[in-house]
A and B are shown apart, each in its own frame.
Chain A
């Protein structure tokens, strides 16, 4: 039962306790003395690898983690050195970063913004990570990038393809090596024109989140510039596993091309459904019905099996490339794990080396110094030809691959073949392009 009667003594005591409680926090306002967050003082430096270990992108996450472990080995001078031998910047010597041994902590993003941020926060606050990298979803990348900006550490994005990551949601502490939806559109359009002509009717199925929206916008703009007509665009929930109800209306829409703006498990299921409905054998408007998948990966091709044969899409990197950098990377990855790396593994490996190299060249772990070293940095020998890290939006510009599902795969890894390497000049855009407008980098934040 409640007792509301207050005695004088009780009131005094209550008041004293309450005011002590309120005054308590004021002693904690002092900041620590270091110039930036997690300044490594000992003989080692800690990097945080935040990848999806559970959930729909767990396959990509596992491959990213393998690549990170390989990169750490190479940075510490173990193994065969991989791309360090082909990288045009020779600042790294295989003796860690600035003489400090590289150590790492891992976390699980679960492909959820909240979980990814919690995991990144604990790496920064508990383990003293100086840089966070990884992720396999644009939603997560945008969320973690925002966190790193606030906390004052560098974020090296993993697999994220949405225009927003370096567009509307770009941040001064965040950097992306992977290509984006606009580049996919720009690279694919000429190839599609050669293959299917300039008089086509396209129907879009789009994953309903940031990446899907920007992907649809980009590919729609690119194909409409060719003269294609967009019949309809339909958003599908990310969690959907059966797309039959979305495929059926395509048959009666008069469209003769289906564009699947889907990734991972979504794409595997929607493509399988489309093939089961016999779309590929159909003839509409006197032309063969075609399917296009703007963002392709080998792991997806593996999931979709024989259905991917002859279907075109774009990708950031493929292990069958024959330049020195790619060969060196595929060799060290294959020796260690027994199979070739995916594009997710490639971009994560390269991001780690790029970060280490930038620290080495800047001579400091201070995020602002590192950001300055990365901005407008030009390099080669990382498997994508000459590459530029543009300072205006922290996006890498490099060649983009257009690939096709192989008709006669020789092994379970040999599923895609490179149709065309689209030169960098063709996929470049102005930093204030309307698809990327609306955000600001802000200024770099070194933290406390």
Chain B
């Protein structure tokens, strides 16, 4: 289907099913139970899973295929967000023009940065992209304050023009983002016994975009263009000696991946119309590298898994405070309870970075192919096959 072979179609269908049924899959625990803490099926987090999934898919087109490690991808995400918010301020609250503009602007931005940065490869390329991203961050943070509103972040106000829409609603508030009248924040709650499932309009828009982005990424991976990018990764020098100019290919990959980031930024602003400079900071760029490597660089589905994994930790684990811990272990004798809480406490709540760091190290050391390799190993172990066969799989991890 869709011009894909059977394996890729299955993969696409799996991603589509995961995305469409996410409100069920992510809410496995009844609302009133103690485990409801671990439910992730609320609109904001689901949107984040999907948006960062798109971001990571785009990053993977550059890093996974060409091996060029960009350390400044968050700049494109930020540029996309700013463009989208400006569209909401000036044109209308419809998300479509905002998202289109954010993709275009991020693409142009990537063209300029890529043109300069791709003159070098390896570590020099990484440093150049990092420098550009930090420059964009400082520009957004202080120099370009009239455009970006500095540290406070760009926000909508009641007196924005919005020439094609309305400046403010009849009851005097800022109109909400919509897709031809469908409000992004509209949520339908379905109560099934003790469970409550939330179906959010904005989430489903993001999910459809994710499926489209994923499909496009499969097509790129399987195209002659994708093959050329892989050749760049395995031996660029040899490629150059054969008389091929690899620069147009790498630049195209860089721009496509920048446009993906812009798309993610535009979606982010469409879900929550605010753009802050922190989105462009180097930590944000580092995060997408982590997501891709954690999930499995060079694989199709890996970056999506990695994005989900990190966002889950950031939003769910950081919420567990010492009170929650005490209530979990309250069945133990007092001294023992305090001792166990004392042991676990540094790893949860504000210590979630620590847990994530440990997991990241374990994954990189024992599963260099990321979560995807873990999945494959488990699959092979169940089927009782030898590991060598698994290497034939099309979705192999990057070396």
Contact = CB atoms under 8 A, between A and B. Distances in A.
Interface of A: 1-6, 10, 13-14, 17, 21-22, 24-32, 53-54, 105-108, 112-115, 117-118, 121-122, 125-126, 138-139, 142-143, 146-147, 149-151, 164, 169, 172, 208-210, 235, 237-238, 439-440, 442-443, 445, 448
B43 interface: yes
Contacts of A112: 276, 278
Contacts of A149: 173-174
Given A1-B224, A14-B1, A114 B44 contact: no
Contact of B157 (A13, A147, A210, A439): A439
B394 interface: no
B211 A143 contact: no
B224 A210 contact: no
B337 interface: no
Contacts of A6: 3
B331 interface: no
Contacts, number: 155
Interface string B1-27: 111110000000000000010000000
A113 B78 CA distance: 13
Contacts of A210: 150-152
A210 B1 CA distance: 54
B116 interface: no
A200 B166 CA distance: 51
Nearest to B278: A112
A440 B211 contact: no
B256 to A, nearest CB: 15
Nearest to B23: A28
B33 to A, nearest CB: 14
B2 to A, nearest CB: 6
A317 B39 CA distance: 41
Interface string B139-156: 001100000001111011
Contact of B201 (A29, A107, A147): A29
A443 B172 contact: yes
B155 A169 contact: yes
A118 B173 CA distance: 22
B150 A147 contact: no
A443 B142 contact: no
Given A112-B278, A143-B276, A32 B189 contact: yes
Interface string B201-231: 1001100100100000001001110010000
B389 interface: no
Contacts of B378: none
Contacts of B219: 2
Contacts of B186: 28-31
Contacts of B200: 28
A25 B171 CA distance: 27
B220 to A, nearest CB: 9
Nearest to B150: A209
B94 to A, nearest CB: 15
B185 interface: yes
B319 interface: yes
Contacts of A25: 182, 201, 204-205, 208
A415 B205 CA distance: 55
Contact of B155 (A115, A118, A125, A143): A143
A126 B42 contact: yes
Interface residues of B, number: 60
Given A22-B208, A25-B182, A114-B276, 17 more contacts: A2-B224, A3-B3, A3-B4, A21-B208, A28-B188, A54-B350, A113-B278, A114-B153, A118-B48, A121-B44, A150-B176, A164-B152, A209-B151, A210-B151, A210-B152, A238-B151, A440-B172
A32 B188 contact: yes
Contacts of B223: 1-2
Contacts of A24: 20, 204
Contacts of A108: 318, 350
B2 A122 contact: no
A2 B155 contact: no
Contact of A122 (B45, B142, B276): B45
Nearest to B204: A25
Contact of A139 (B2, B151, B159): B151
B224 to A, nearest CB: 7
A26 B204 CA distance: 10
B91 interface: no
Instruction: Give the residue among A2, A21, A22, A106 with the most B Cβ atoms within 10 A.
Output: A2
Contact of A443 (B150, B171, B227): B171
B172 A442 contact: yes
Contacts of B185: 150-151
A105 B272 CA distance: 22
Given A209-B151, A238-B151, A442 B319 contact: no
A445 B4 CA distance: 48
Contacts of B20: 24
Contacts of B155: 142-143, 146, 169
B152 A440 contact: no
B188 A126 contact: no
Interface string B166-179: 00100111101000
A111 to B, nearest CB: 9
A113 B274 contact: yes
B211 A139 contact: no
A166 to B, nearest CB: 14
B14 to A, nearest CB: 15
A445 B173 contact: yes
Contacts of B227: 1
Nearest to B199: A28
B198 A117 contact: no
Contacts of A143: 152-153, 155, 274, 276
Contacts of A169: 152, 155, 157
Nearest to B16: A21
B158 interface: yes
A54 B224 CA distance: 47
A140 B200 CA distance: 26
A26 B182 CA distance: 8
Contact of A146 (B39, B208, B274): B274
A2 B220 CA distance: 8
A202 to B, nearest CB: 23
Nearest to B211: A21
Contacts of B182: 25-26, 29
A105 B157 CA distance: 29
Which A-B residue pairs are the 9 nearest by beta carbons?
A: A209-B151, A443-B172, A121-B44, A113-B276, A126-B42, A125-B42, A3-B3, A113-B153, A112-B278
A122 B319 contact: yes
B315 interface: yes
A209 B152 contact: yes
A118 B28 CA distance: 22
A299 B48 CA distance: 36
Contacts of B188: 27-32
11 contacts: A1-B224, A4-B3, A21-B208, A31-B188, A125-B43, A143-B276, A149-B174, A169-B157, A439-B158, A443-B171, A448-B187
Instruction: Give the residue among B1, B44, B176, B321 with the most A Cβ atoms within 10 A.
Output: B44
Contact of B39 (A31, A126, A142): A126
Contacts of A235: 142
A151 B349 CA distance: 25
B279 interface: yes
A35 to B, nearest CB: 15
A361 B231 CA distance: 71
A389 to B, nearest CB: 20
Interface string B343-357: 000000110000000
Contacts of B157: 169, 439-440
